[in-house]
Structure 1
Amino acid sequence: MSTAQKLLRRAQYLPLLLAGLYGVVLLLATVPWVQRELTYLHWISYPFSVKYDTPHAYGLAPFKTRNFGIPTADNETLGAWHVLPNSYYLKQTPFPPQSDLSAEEFDKAFGDRPTVIYFHGNAATRASPHRVRTYAALSSVLNLNVVAIDYRGFADSTGKPSEEGLKTDARAAYDWVAGRIKAAGNKVPQNQIIIMGHSLGTGVASALTGLLADDRIVPKALVLITPFSSIPDLLSSFYLFGVIPLLSPLGRFPRIQNFFKSLISVRFDSVEALSRTAAPTLLVHTKADKVVPYSHSEALWQSLLAPNGTEYAIPKPFVLDYTGWGKLYISNPRYRQIIWWEGEFGGHDEIGWAEGTMDLIADIAKLNVPLNPDGLSYISL
């Protein structure tokens, strides 16, 4: 038998081998510990050997950011950064500052401008380059305070990640910020808080707005960058590391696929959480996203127009088509503004800090930041 014949004979077993490997992946995916490790990827700590007390080493302006810890209700401590709004930072003397500003000086800034609480995606830390670029844009372009946390088990935060744990972390961050805003003189702190999430962080941000709604708290705005409708739905179209399909091969067998989806313990059901809040909401997604398909934003958009399927007279969305950039869908169901940008270009980690995204955040949060020579947003015209 020739070498070629031997290779062909062995090749006939390749489909069986691949099917067997996929079966192993499916079985592992049903194990809660494996689900947690693959969902959060918190063990991927990047950049390496981060010095969290020197944020300016990662691209932020010198002494514009403080490093601190936020205690949670279950006795964990979250590593966090607070980036000053640009107008407040520029007031410092000397400028730029030559040493750390006091905690009191940072606390005063909460009374100066609104605050974004930023929830990042899975893996890495708050010092990751694309996250730092987002903080810088929010601070400089929109002139906002930015508070960014690392969830429990990430970076220098204590504990181990879990769905309930991350929800507790989000509420701890909100309560910490709300307390500082109130101490700075604003009696209704939620009117000065924008909640923003990216990727996995959109599930955390959505869950937080749902929890706040249960306490009759409505933040100034909710911003979801590359969101998903729920973790089980995401796994139906997700490729681990961009290569390994999880539940998508079972699409031809809905009952089997739904069975495996039912075994996913980490859920982050954003559709359900968002049905409880009245916060103005911005969805930002691109067709070029290789991590979270933009169809998830479409599903969230539809659910926001008709939460729980109870809306009988859905207002017709206003659509603006920008050739080469994307489409804006705008609606005001129940007097709550919802904007969805369906972009043509932009990677999963790049659109959070894009100029167009900053403009959209300014509009949904009604920030007094001029976007054109007339001082008006093009969306509001």
Structure 2
Amino acid sequence: MDESSSDQELLVEMPHVQPKTTSIMIKIGLVIAGLYILISILIPIILLIYPIIIKHVVFLNMLKTQTNFTQPETLGLNRVSNFYLNVDNQVSLGIWHFRSPLIKDEFFHNDEDYFQKYLTSNIPIIIYFHGNAYDRSLLTRRELCQKLRDELKYDVITYDYRGFGDSKGEPTEHNLIKDARFIYDWLNKLNNGRRKIYLWGHSLGSAVACQLAVQLSQDKNLGGIIMEAPFMNVHQALLTHWISLFFRWQPWFYSITEKALRKNKLSFETRNHLLKLDCPCILIHSDDDLTVPYIHSKQLLQIGLNARTDNKQKKKLFHFTIDMISYHRSGYGHRLIYQAPKLTSTLKHIIFEEDL
């Protein structure tokens, strides 16, 4: 067979391939459309019958890393100690302490001895409140805590909310704020109110930190609050999350999710609590954040600036200031802002102490 006849055969066979491929693509498209319609019908029904599901969606604490929290050194962490504090008989919180390089290593006999040797100083301390899902051992969380410890020379405390990691108990908004206050009061009492304490919250943790800061409005040891990728409130966070793009145009989405959140007493109203702050506040956000869009921080900043002006006119909340650090087209997204080279040096100029 010569070359020209071979080309003719190919020309005859090729038209049979395209319709077959098109048919498969149509079938796949129909299956996807069918699943989408089914899910769109099931979600509102499930939320109406079992509104508690929304609580699991907000916290995602069922996601675990299976980390051995008692041995942080196996994760490459140095000068990090693990211990537990009992909030009550049913609740214990797993805690990591990233020790300041300014405190020399000493032998200790037990937790109480450790606290006296390593947590009673005048060195400022940061309490880090992580976001939802997983625990304190997540790579981005432990790297942020290390960065803050190493570059600021501060102590850094991070812990898992009840129901997260190896902490015992059931998470609710009320319980998360209760635990946050417990940690703060414990540290403050341990140091007889001598050291400055900063709050750093990421995403859900920023809502926890903000509510705690409002409770501490009269506490002179509160140095300020940093809210990284914060949201206006939890309902707005759900409405603007990238996954909601598939459902939020449907008429049931807004009202049913709002009703489910209300039944579970979940609001995390950062927008309203921001108006009651009486300490310096820094917002940090990246404009390529798809989990909590950048618009949340922009709106919170404007609310804060308006509140600051109003406070001046009414001569109240004198210690409240608000600033924002923005990252544009940086690739940091929702979790990687800590990788910004000048983050801590910038924060030193506007909130943290320059020299210890």
What's the counterpart of residue 299 of structure 2? 299
What's the counterpart of residue 4 of structure 2? none
Paired positions, count: 327
Which runs of at least 4 in structure 1 moved beyond 4 Å after TM superposition? 2-17, 99-103, 308-313
What's the counterpart of residue 352 of structure 2? 366
Distance 1:136 1:8, change over 3 A: closer
Q: Residue 195 of structure 1 contacts residue 205 of structure 1 at CA under 8 Å; is this kept in 2?
A: yes
What's the counterpart of residue 85 of structure 1? 100
**Most deviating of 11-20 and 274-283:** 11-20
Between structures 1 and 2, the one with greater helix share:
2
**Runs of at least 5 residues in structure 1 that lack an aligned partner in the other structure:** 314-332, 371-381
Q: Residue 281 of structure 1 contacts residue 364 of structure 1 at CA under 8 Å; is this kept in 2?
A: no
Which residue of 221, 226, 238 corresponds with 1:223? 226
Letter in 2 for 1:19: I
Give, in whole Å, the separation in 2 of the partners of 1:104 and 1:365: 32
Q: Residue 235 of structure 1 contacts residue 248 of structure 1 at CA under 8 Å; is this kept in 2?
A: no
Give, in whole Å, the separation in 2 of the partners of 1:369 and 1:166: 33
CA RMSD of aligned residues (A): 3.2
Letter in 1 for 2:100: P
Q: Residue 308 of structure 2 contacts residue 320 of structure 2 at CA under 8 Å; is this kept in 1?
A: no
Post-superposition CA distance 1:282-311 (Å, at most 9, x none): 111001112110111011111111249957
Distance 1:212 1:312, change over 3 A: closer
Distance 1:66 1:260, change over 3 A: closer
5 Å matches for 1:1-381? 15=33, 18-30=36-48, 31-46=50-65, 48=66, 50-61=67-78, 64-72=79-87, 75-88=90-103, 91-92=104-105, 103-108=112-117, 109-182=119-192, 186=194, 189=195, 192-213=196-217, 216-217=218-219, 219-240=222-243, 245=245, 248-250=248-250, 257-258=254-255, 260-264=257-261, 265=264, 266-307=266-307, 336-344=320-328, 345=330, 346-352=332-338, 354-369=340-355
**Most deviating of 256-265 and 110-119:** 256-265
Seq. identity, % = 24
Distance 1:283 1:7, change over 3 A: closer
Match of 1:164, SS state, is helix
Post-superposition CA distance 1:105-161 (Å, at most 9, x none): 543444131010111111111111111111111111001111111010111111111
Match of 1:78, SS state, is strand
Letter in 2 for 1:137: K
TM-score for both structures, normalised by structure 2: 0.80
Q: Quote the offset at 1:339 in angstroms.
A: 1.4
- Compare CA radii of gyration and give the structure with the larger one: 2
Q: Residue 70 of structure 1 contacts residue 176 of structure 1 at CA under 8 Å; is this kept in 2?
A: no
Give, in whole Å, the separation in 2 of the partners of 1:309 and 1:355: 32
What's the counterpart of residue 323 of structure 1? none
